[in-house]
């Protein structure tokens, strides 16, 4: 399988060749801070290959001191980008950075003990196709 991806400003584009082993929605406090939302949605692979197609903007990687928590992002627009972890053995790809459709569904929610207080029964909240009028 081959997946295409990019950041919001399109200054960085990439492709991932191979399959994802797992897809997790992480509710830990670090991922909440990273995303500014209820959780991060990350794909993981120990066999897929990451290839940078275009890097017109700088890619910055932040490693939280005293933890294994790491995030790569476009220095121009701030969009989350893939990175290699655990001595380049684990590819982590933010699901929202993919431009190619993804058939794989999340495997699990992680760190539910840290989830946001307001992260309850969100499927029951009113839904709109765009901004409410």
Looking at residue 87, the DSSP 8-state letter turns out to be: T
CA 89 – CA 106 distance, rounded (Å) = 21
Residue 94 pLDDT: 98
Q: According to the model, what pLDDT value does residue 133 have? A: 83
Q: What is the pLDDT of residue 62?
A: 95
pLDDT, residue 31, reads 94
What is the pTM assigned to this prediction?
0.93
| CA gap 57, 84 in Å, rounded | 19
How do the pLDDT tens digits run along the chain, 133 residues long?
999 999 999 999 999 999 999 999 999 999 999 999 999 999 999 999 999 999 999 999 999 999 889 999 999 999 999 999 999 999 999 999 999 999 999 999 999 999 999 999 989 999 999 999 8
């Amino acid at each position: 399988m081959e997946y295409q991806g990019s950041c919001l400003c399109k200054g960085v584009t990439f492709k991932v060749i191979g399959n994802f082993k797992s897809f997790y929605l992480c509710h830990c406090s670090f991922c909440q801070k990273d995303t500014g939302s209820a959780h991060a949605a990350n794909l993981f692979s120990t066999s897929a290959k990451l290839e940078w197609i275009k890097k017109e903007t700088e890619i910055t990687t932040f490693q939280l001191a005293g933890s294994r928590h790491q995030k790569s992002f476009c220095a121009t627009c701030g969009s989350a980008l893939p990175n290699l972890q655990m001595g380049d053995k684990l590819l982590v790809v933010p699901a929202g950075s993919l431009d190619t459709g993804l058939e794989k569904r999340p495997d699990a929610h992680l760190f539910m003990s840290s989830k946001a207080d307001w992260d309850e029964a969100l499927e029951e909240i009113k839904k709109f196709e765009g901004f409410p009028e």
